[in-house]
């Protein structure tokens, strides 16, 4: 996999998260900038991989409170990317990434790679997704 | 036949081949094993056919450890505590019988293979036969649902069967009445198991009624079957020859009391789509005339790898969530946030989870657990200085739990959370702080085990592998008080199986 491909996917992920923060409308707008690297896939990914934004943000903030060292979007993004790459290193479009992330989250639970967040036992990848959204909406 | 001890002449002496002290599940099972045989059996039951407040009050006592309902957790009339039994049935697991180097004082004198021949007849006695405790294919076929298998390697599925429940007193009353060789003496309290001068045999049982009559029973064999708390108390009370109490030369009687620690509200699971959790995983399902419910148990491999104690978890649907719902319970917003955030992980598609109920966002499950505790010599039954209406010292219980017990439970809770996550079914909220303390709300399951434990070495147990009290040739103990370890299965089925085994042993001995 090329460095250019990695960078493109990282920008894509970041754009999706930025879109998540603003909601569906922004996702559509956002596709005109960063997400043009994967045209037309961002809204689908966004709707599939995380749920209702306010709830996501609240849980994400709880995670960051419990793990303040992770209060860094780039680091979180990198960790998320590593998670789904471990499932599907070739995932490039939104659908593939969503599928890989869903598998990665299940895999976290299966391996015991979990964090306790305000009482919830959460997949580390899942919790980081929520945390990234929380940081971007601050 | 039944005889009311208050209606026979004072100082009556009764004779039988076997005297059974206690008319609960163990006592009745033992007696019925001899029905129609040439062996005469006398069952001595403290109560009558119905509950009576004065008799029940004989169970009162005091606590030195974890607060425990000594009178409320058992019943003292024919049928014993089966009269308030919940009916949960599952055999112990093979690992429960093993000597595990990480579980102090673990190990039965035999493996589960010794009990297997007795479990199936025990299933019939508690009216759950045939047992399908591990048969995933059977339940899948008969429920018509695909049953997901655990994937973390931490848990395994087992199936708890529910007895109607069998109330032994009423269910088997007719059998006892009809059997010409069985006499059930009601309203008769054993106040002393009188030993011979050397204390090596039981000479007779001394009985009192609450209205002051005194009787005696003599037999070739005596079986103490008064329940997991009363068995050690009776041995300790019978101290006219052996001052420490019968079978207590090595200070073992009463020690190692075990319960299955239960925690209510230790956690909740939210799930979006009920279709991901088959009905038998969240409620009792009726198949071929009996009810069953799936249970989540730690796998043997995980127990060995992490050096943990056994446990059983069961889940039940507790409530539904709809958009905009509010509640005074502070967990409701937490549950709803998780359902809303994790929706893409917990349900398929993007539309309503239930098209007939578009505002539905999910459900929550309540959880129940029953956990093994480490056999602990300091968790014990002794006698208090207070006396009951018969002038006997009351029971004093010092139930204790250890850090090892707590750590094990917390680890299993986390495993359950991981299993639900790995299967894409739900998310679990843990309400137990991992702070090194047992939550104050810990309780028992009315499972009284271990205080007359079985061990081949008299210095490590009260009874031998045949349930005979060490050092005595004609006194046996039946019931869960002989369990060396508790496992995480409700004890009734196993104590019935053990009693059937004891009956067979006694038949051989009486020949």
CA distance B126 to B120: 10
Stretch (H or E) spanning B62: strand B61-63
Q: In this complex, how many residue pairs, one in chain A and one in chain B, have their CB atoms less than 8 Å apart?
A: 87
- The whole-angstrom distance between B57's CA and the closest CA on chain A is 43
Interchain pair B418, A49: CB under 8 A: no
Whether B412 and B313 have beta carbons less than 8 Å apart is answered as yes
Residue of A58, A106, A120 with shortest CB distance to B429: A120
Interchain pair B341, A52: CB under 8 A: yes
Output the average pLDDT for chain A.
74
- Top CATH class, B1-127+166-258+449-511: alpha beta
Interchain pair A58, B151: CB under 8 A: no
Q: Which residues of B touch A52 (CB under 8 A)?
A: 340-341, 343
Q: Is B385 helix (H, G, I), strand (E, B) or coil?
A: strand
CA distance B285 to B316: 12
Interchain pair A109, B414: CB under 8 A: no
Give the Å distances, CA to CA, from B467 to B195, B268, B380, B437. 18, 41, 20, 36
Interchain pair A47, B344: CB under 8 A: yes
List residues bridging with B294 in a β-sheet. Answer: B159
CA distance B488 to B26: 20
Q: Which residues of B touch A49 (CB under 8 A)?
A: 344
Other CB atoms within 10 A of residue B289 CB: 7
Whether A126 and B338 have beta carbons less than 8 Å apart is answered as no
Query: Could you give the ipTM of this predicted complex?
Result: 0.91
Q: Which residues of B touch A121 (CB under 8 A)?
A: 414, 417-418, 421, 427-430
Tokens found for residue A75: 């680091």
- The whole-angstrom distance between A32's CA and the closest CA on chain B is 24
CA distance A134 to B407: 33
Interchain pair B418, A110: CB under 8 A: yes
b/e per residue B451-480 (b: at least 16 CB within 10 A): bbbbbeebebbbbbbebbbbbbebbbbbbb
Q: Which one of A23, A55, A98, A105 would you mutate to disrupt binding with B, by most B Cβ within 10 Å of its Cβ? A: A55
Interchain pair A102, B344: CB under 8 A: yes
Report domain extents, chain B.
Answer: 1-127+166-258+449-511, 129-162+262-372+402-437
Binned at pLDDT 50, 70 and 90, residue A7 comes out as low
Give the Å distances, CA to CA, from A47 to A19, A65, B308, B426. 10, 26, 41, 19
Residue of A52, A105, A110 with shortest CB distance to B340: A52
Tens of pLDDT along chain B (511 residues)?
Answer: 999 999 999 999 999 999 999 999 999 999 999 999 999 999 999 999 999 999 999 999 999 999 999 999 999 999 999 999 999 999 999 999 999 999 999 999 999 999 999 999 999 999 999 999 999 999 999 999 999 999 999 999 999 999 999 999 999 999 999 999 999 999 999 999 999 999 999 999 999 999 999 999 999 999 999 999 999 999 999 999 999 999 999 999 999 999 999 988 889 999 999 999 999 999 999 999 889 999 999 999 999 999 999 999 999 999 999 998 989 999 999 999 999 999 989 999 878 889 899 999 999 999 999 999 999 999 999 999 999 999 999 999 999 999 999 999 999 999 999 999 999 999 999 988 777 888 777 899 999 999 999 999 999 999 999 999 999 999 999 999 999 999 999 999 999 999 999 999 999 999 8
Q: Which residues in B have their CB inside 8 Å of a CB on A? A: 151-152, 154, 334, 336-345, 350, 414, 417-424, 427-431
Measured on CA atoms in the order B335, B336, B340, B345, is the torsion positive or negative? positive
Interchain pair B422, A114: CB under 8 A: no
CA distance B219 to B16: 5
Pseudo-torsion of CA B384, B388, B392, B398, nearest 10°? -30
Q: What does the pLDDT read at residue A104?
A: 96
Q: What does the pLDDT read at residue B405?
A: 95
Residue A17 above 80 pLDDT?
Answer: no
Environment class of residue B219 by beta-carbon count within 10 Å: exposed (0-12), middle (13-18) or buried (19+)? buried
Query: What would the 3-class secondary structure string for B274-310 be?
Result: HHHCCHHHCCCEEECCEEEEEEEEECHHHHHHHCCCC
Binned at pLDDT 50, 70 and 90, residue A37 comes out as very low
Q: Which one of B342, B346, B414, B419 would you mutate to disrupt binding with A, by most A Cβ within 10 Å of its Cβ? A: B342
Whether B216 and B204 have beta carbons less than 8 Å apart is answered as yes
List residues bridging with B396 in a β-sheet. Answer: B62, B382
Q: Is A106 helix (H, G, I), strand (E, B) or coil?
A: helix
Q: Which one of B324, B341, B419, B426 would you mutate to disrupt binding with A, by most A Cβ within 10 Å of its Cβ? A: B341
- The whole-angstrom distance between A84's CA and the closest CA on chain B is 14
Residue of A50, A112, A120 with shortest CB distance to B418: A112
CA distance B296 to B302: 13
Q: Which residues of A touch B418 (CB under 8 A)?
A: 109-110, 112, 114, 121
Residue A22 above 70 pLDDT?
Answer: no
Residue of A55, A114, A118 with shortest CB distance to B340: A55
Whether B139 and B147 have beta carbons less than 8 Å apart is answered as yes
Whether B463 and B469 have beta carbons less than 8 Å apart is answered as yes
Q: What does the pLDDT read at residue B352?
A: 86
Give the residue with greater pLDDT, B253 vs A12.
B253
List residues bridging with B160 in a β-sheet. Answer: B293
Interchain pair B430, A110: CB under 8 A: no
Start-to-end Cα distance in chain A: 33
Q: Which residues of B touch A119 (CB under 8 A)?
A: 334, 429-431
Give the Å distances, CA to CA, from B363 to B272, B273, B284, B354, B442. 6, 8, 17, 12, 26
Residue of A52, A106, A122 with shortest CB distance to B424: A106
Nearest residue in B to A100, CA atom = B345
List residues bridging with B258 in a β-sheet. Answer: B449
Q: Which residues of B touch A107 (CB under 8 A)?
A: 422
Q: Which one of B345, B349, B428, B430 would you mutate to disrupt binding with A, by most A Cβ within 10 Å of its Cβ? A: B345
Residue A5 above 80 pLDDT?
Answer: no
Q: Which residues in A have their CB inside 8 Å of a CB on B? A: 47-52, 54-56, 58-59, 98, 102, 105-110, 112, 114, 116, 118-123, 126, 130
Interchain pair A121, B417: CB under 8 A: yes
Q: What does the pLDDT read at residue B2?
A: 98
Residue of A51, A102, A114 with shortest CB distance to B341: A51
CA distance B454 to B463: 5
């Amino acid at each position: 996999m090329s460095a250019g491909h990695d960078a493109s996917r990282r920008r894509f992920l970041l754009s999706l998260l930025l879109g998540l923060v603003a909601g569906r409308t922004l996702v559509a707008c956002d596709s005109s900038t960063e997400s043009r690297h994967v045209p037309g896939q961002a809204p689908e990914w966004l709707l599939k991989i995380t749920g209702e934004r306010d709830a996501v943000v609240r849980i994400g903030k709880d995670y960051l409170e419990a793990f303040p060292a992770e209060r860094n979007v780039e680091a979180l993004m990198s960790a998320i990317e590593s998670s789904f790459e471990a499932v599907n290193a070739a995932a490039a479009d939104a659908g593939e990434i969503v599928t890989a992330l869903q598998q990665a989250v299940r895999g976290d639970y299966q391996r015991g790679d979990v964090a306790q967040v305000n009482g919830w036992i959460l997949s580390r990848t899942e919790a980081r997704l929520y945390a990234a959204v929380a940081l971007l909406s601050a | 036949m039944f005889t009311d001890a208050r209606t026979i002449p004072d100082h009556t002496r009764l004779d039988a081949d076997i005297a059974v002290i206690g008319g609960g599940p163990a006592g009745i099972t033992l007696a019925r094993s001899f029905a129609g045989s040439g062996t005469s059996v006398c069952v001595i039951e403290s109560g009558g056919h119905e509950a009576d407040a004065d008799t029940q009050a004989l169970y009162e006592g005091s606590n030195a450890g974890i607060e425990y309902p000594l009178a409320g957790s058992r019943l003292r009339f024919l049928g014993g505590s089966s009269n308030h039994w919940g009916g949960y049935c599952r055999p112990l697991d093979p690992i429960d019988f093993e000597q595990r180097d990480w579980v102090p004082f673990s190990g039965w004198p035999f493996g589960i293979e010794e009990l297997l021949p007795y479990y199936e007849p025990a299933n019939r006695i508690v009216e759950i036969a045939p047992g399908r405790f591990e048969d995933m294919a059977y339940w899948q076929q008969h429920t018509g649902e695909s049953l997901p298998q655990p994937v973390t390697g931490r848990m395994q599925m087992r199936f708890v069967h529910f007895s109607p429940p069998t109330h032994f007193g009423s269910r088997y009353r007719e059998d006892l009445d009809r059997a010409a060789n069985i006499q059930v003496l009601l309203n008769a309290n054993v106040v002393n198991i009188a030993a011979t001068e050397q204390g090596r045999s039981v000479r007779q049982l001394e009985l009192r009624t609450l209205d002051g009559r005194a009787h005696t029973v003599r037999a070739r064999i005596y079986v103490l079957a008064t329940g997991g708390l009363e068995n050690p108390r009776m041995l300790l009370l019978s101290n006219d020859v052996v001052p420490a109490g019968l079978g207590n030369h090595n200070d073992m009687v009463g020690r190692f009391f075990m319960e299955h620690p239960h925690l209510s509200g230790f956690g909740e699971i939210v799930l979006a789509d009920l279709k991901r959790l088959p009905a038998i995983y969240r409620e009792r399902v009726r198949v071929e005339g009996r009810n069953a419910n799936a249970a989540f148990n730690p796998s043997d491999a995980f127990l060995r790898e992490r050096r943990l104690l056994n446990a059983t978890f069961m889940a039940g649907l507790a409530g539904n969530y709809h958009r905009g719902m509010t509640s005074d319970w502070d967990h409701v917003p937490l549950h709803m946030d998780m359902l809303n955030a994790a929706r893409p992980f917990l349900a398929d598609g993007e539309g309503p989870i239930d098209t007939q109920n578009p505002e539905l966002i999910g459900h929550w499950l309540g959880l129940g657990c029953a956990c093994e505790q480490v056999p602990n010599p300091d968790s014990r039954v002794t006698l208090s200085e207070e006396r009951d209406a018969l002038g006997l010292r009351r029971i004093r219980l010092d139930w204790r739990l250890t850090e090892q017990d707590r750590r094990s439970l917390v680890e299993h809770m986390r495993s359950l959370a991981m299993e639900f996550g790995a299967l894409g079914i739900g998310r679990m909220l843990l309400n137990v702080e991992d702070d090194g303390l047992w939550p104050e709300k810990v309780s028992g399951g009315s499972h009284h085990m271990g205080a007359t434990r079985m061990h081949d070495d008299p210095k490590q147990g009260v009874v031998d592998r045949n349930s005979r009290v060490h050092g005595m040739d004609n006194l046996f103990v039946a019931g869960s008080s002989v369990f060396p370890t508790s496992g995480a299965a409700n004890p009734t089925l196993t104590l019935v199986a053990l009693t059937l085994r004891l009956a067979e042993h006694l038949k051989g001995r009486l020949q």
